[in-house]
Structure 1
Amino acid sequence: MPENREEGLKNSVLYLMSAGAGLVVANNYYNQPLLSLMAKDFQVSESAVSNIPLFTQLGYAFGLLFIIPLGDKFPRKKMVMIDFIFIIASLLAMALAQSLPILIISGFFVGFSCVVPQVFVPMAAQLAKPEKRGSAIGIVMSGLLIGILGSRFISGFVGEYFGWRLMYFIAAGIMLIFWLLLKLKLPELKSDFKGTYKELMQSLWGYFKSEPPVRLAAVRGGLGFAGFSAFWTTLVFLMEENFNYGSGVAGAFGVLGIAGALAASLIGKLSDRMNKNLLITIATAIMIFAWVVFEFSGYSIVGLVIGVILVDMGLQSLHITNQNIIFSRNPDARNRINTIYMVGYFIGGALGTTTGAYAWELFQWRGVASLGLFYSILILIFHFAFKNSIPEEN
């Protein structure tokens, strides 16, 4: 609402959205440390069970494409409240699934419904004062990444000691509690688009064609997230095969990655002041170095620890800078712009999950590390080839 934009974004609302982003997105990632337990439960192969995170990420991409643009047409709070009901139902379906196909389908709907964080990010960008936009995005993204990484620690622990199904019952309960908090505290924002849903969706293609910076950001983000997803999908297999550790230790690596997430607010501030092309180059260089470290860390916990911190910091820096670039344009269509970017981002995640599983089966850990390095080098190639499509900004 106009008065909220004039006052700026209240800290209480900003941190509520940050916490909500983390708690909701966590639902998409609880499965990764639990894959070995699920494979044993249903007596299937590692590559077969990797379809669970694959379809969850595909569901997220579809949710971004078909749900998030509605934020430019309907009141945001009402949209979030309805979506939470579907999140809870999907999590309960995961907990009660009696076969791998049902689990995979349920995972798709978890991903499809858990797109609320991508409503909160443009909300923060809209409510914040222009000079604090990057900082606000960074705080919400910090919560989101902490949710991604913390989810692996929590689910790894719960899965190892109490079984994987309990994790999804707990998640459904958390969503119910947070639904109540959002109902009480989340502000409403009116939307400007007056056309039909068909016209809304058609406008996505128009923005995709007319906005080279958004297309480039989607490619960079997708490639970065591809490597990230390949790592987390296969880490639990590495822990079991090379170190004889279970899902609890694999999930604990998520806590290390939170160090990268905590840098998000600083990165957001930097993206308000620093040349964004340079910041993207530095972020990608950090990821490349992380994957080089991973190449030599198949039997080194210390190497894996260093690599996790670096790859999370690099990806977070890349992601926040990408979003600051795209949200500085077309303020009346931020949800649709975010949809284009995030669909590319999570298509990259699905690609990384699939190729990571096959890289593990064919070449073990060295293959996964080489794959992540390849994706990161591609980011630099695309960035240097097309970065002139981005106006120089401070």
Structure 2
Amino acid sequence: MHGTSPPESQRNLSRGLILLLATACGAMVANLYYAQTLIDTIGPEIGLSPGVAGAITTLTQLGYGAGLALFVPLGDLFENKRLALLSTAGAILGCLGIAASNGPVSFLAASLITGICATGAQVVLPLASHLAVKERQGRVIGTIMSGLLFGIMLARPVASFLADAISWRAVFLLSAGLMAAIGIALWFVCPTRKPETKLGYGAILGSVWGQLRRHRALRLRAFYQAMLFAAFNLFWTAAPLELLRNFDFTQQQVAWFALAGAGGALAAPLAGSLADRGLMWWTSFGALLMLTLSFIGADVAVAATSVAAFVIAAILIDTGVQLNQITGQKIIFALSSDARARVNAAYMTVMFVVGASGSLIGSATFEHGGWTLSALTGAAIGGIALVIFLLFDRGASDPD
């Protein structure tokens, strides 16, 4: 198939195909997070000292950042299905390499490869937006993003459960098997899309940042989501520390808490439906306000030692992040039909680079002021985004 817009017959995505694409995104991104809760187990076995063991997470995240900047824009240059299959194959090799590693060099190299190939999820998402009819685009994006967020939220508890029941290596072997099954399914049922862009690779990369300069809506949406992603990472760094140290939770109980918090991913289809109805401004406003107030509620919940209220706050924080993410991607994918991969690459790179700081902020605020300082910092981050939205959005979130 050629052209930037597939024929109408191919644009009516079946529920099965949407579910496959959502599963693919979730499984790819989950590979970034499996090792985060297993550092203390993996490090001694492969010969990494405690001071260097943090490189396990860092290299995977750096690989993902590199993939966002260098691999994702290729979606506007090369056939999208092949790129998705290439990233899937790379993720399989990376996971197998991690599982087979007996030393730090091989483990960290495989982690880097896995991080780079996880960005295949950001190739699949623009592909789905191309294949969907405009009237259903928001709902399609929402469903696929719910799969992605489920992958993020479920990765840590699933890794903890499997490592405890079998071994940490089994986590990555099973992930490789899942990715292989997804790759086979994509090979047979995923439609193809070949862009018409005639630019070279260098020009494609240069134009990624040109998209940010050209589109005010892209700059604003990237800022909003970067702030919310930072708050999200802050919460999921500080909340487990609070549960372990002051609620006397075990690691398994923290895993169950994370599973409950993953319920926020269910908001993604709702966000897509609201966006399809043209309610982007109100959805964004509600998402920013919800996240800000939920951090305050989380502080109250901890002060009252209410685990149930803390879980509700976690779900609402995740819901706010999802509502704004889906709304933002509905808006940015409408900016340029022939540059969606580059627009998405710019959006996701800003979101990831700024948002990754949330983990550092979460650990620093918790160590210096406990959960209260972390919660108030999260509320402040959400509040700043809300104020900027109210002052400067000026039509950037309005429907076309």
Normalising by structure 1, we get a TM-score of 0.91
Partner amino acid for 1:325? I
1:159 alignment partner in structure 2: 163
- Residue matched to 1:237: 241
- Aligned pair in 2 of structure 1 residues 55, 225: CA closer, same or farther (>3 Å)? farther
Letter in 1 for 2:198: K
User: Conserved in 2, the CA contact under 8 Å of 1:156 and 1:250?
Assistant: no
Matching residue of 2:385: 379
1:3 and 2:13 correspond: no
Measured after TM superposition, the shift of residue 96 of structure 1 is 4.0
Look up the match of 1:368.
374
Contact 1:72 1:336 (C-alpha < 8 Å) held by counterparts: yes
- Contact conserved, 1:59 with 1:111, CA < 8 A, in 2? yes
Pairing 1:80-95 to 2, within 5 Å after superposition: 80-95=84-99
Q: State the partner residue of 2:282.
A: 278
Q: Among the aligned pairs, what percent are the same residue?
A: 30
- Is 2:271–2:283's contact at 8 Å kept on the other side of the alignment? no
What's the offset of the Cα at 1:392? 2.7
Q: Deviations over 1:63-110 (max 9, x none)?
A: 111101101100011111111222122223333445667655543432
Match of 1:266 in 2: 270
Q: How does 1:1-394 map to 2 (within 5 A)?
A: 1=1, 2-4=6-8, 7-38=11-42, 42=48, 44=50, 49-98=53-102, 103=107, 106-298=110-302, 299-388=305-394, 390=396, 392-393=398-399
SS in 2 for 1:296: helix
Q: CA deviation at 1:322?
A: 0.5
- SS of corresponding position for 1:392: coil
**Aligned partner of residue 182 in structure 2, secondary structure:** helix
2:364 alignment partner AA: Y
Q: How far apart in 2 are the matches of 1:367 and 1:160?
A: 33
Cα distance in 1 between the residues matched to 2:242 and 2:227: 22
Q: CA deviation at 1:115?
A: 1.0
- TM-score normalized by the length of structure 2: 0.90
Distance of 1:131 and 1:252 partners within structure 2: 37
Deviations 1:293-326 (A, max 9, x none): 2223444322321111101111000100000110
Q: CA deviation at 1:147?
A: 1.6
Change (3 A) 1:230 1:138: same
Compute the displacement of 1:36 (Å): 4.7
> Does the CA contact (< 8 Å) of 1:133 and 1:324 recur in 2?
yes
Are the counterparts in 2 of residues 128 and 136 from structure 1 also a CA contact under 8 Å? yes
Report the secondary structure of 2:7's partner residue.
helix
SS at match of 1:390: coil
CA–CA distance in structure 2, aligned partners of residues 112 and 314 of structure 1: 27
C-alpha distance in 2 between matches for 1:163 and 1:373: 38
Partner letter of residue 244 of structure 1? D
Pairwise CA distance, 1:54? 4.0
Q: Name the amino acid aligned to 1:302.
A: A
C-alpha contact (below 8 Å) 1:57/1:111 kept by paired residues: yes
Which deviates the most, 233-242 or 93-102? 93-102
Deviates more, 1:283-292 or 1:259-268: 259-268
Retained in 2: the 8 A contact 1:14–1:140? yes
Distance of aligned partners of 1:147 and 1:39 in 2 relative to their CA distance in 1, 3 Å threshold? same
Q: Is the 8 A contact 1:284 1:314 kept in 2?
A: yes
What's the offset of the Cα at 1:6? 6.1
Aligned residues: 392
Contact 1:160 1:246 in 2 (8 A): no
Q: State the alpha-carbon separation in 1 of the partners of residues 397 and 110 from structure 2.
A: 42
3-state SS of the aligned residue for 2:156? helix
- One-letter identity of the residue aligned with 2:307: I
CA contact (8 A) 1:57 1:346 kept: no
Gaps of 5+ in 1: none
Q: Which residue identity lines up with residue 72 of structure 1 in the other structure?
A: D
Residue ranges of structure 2 left out of the alignment (5+ in a row): none
Read off the aligned partner of 1:198 and give its amino acid letter: G
Counterpart code for 2:351: Y
Deviations 1:24-47 (A, max 9, x none): 1111122333345456765526xx
Amino acid at match of 1:315: V
Name the CA shift for 1:293/1:108 in 2 (closer, same or farther; >3 Å).
Answer: farther
Stretch deviating more after TM superposition (347-356 or 246-255): 246-255
Q: 1:148-182, CA deviations, whole angstroms, 9 ceiling, x for partnerless residues?
A: 12222211211333343321222122112221111
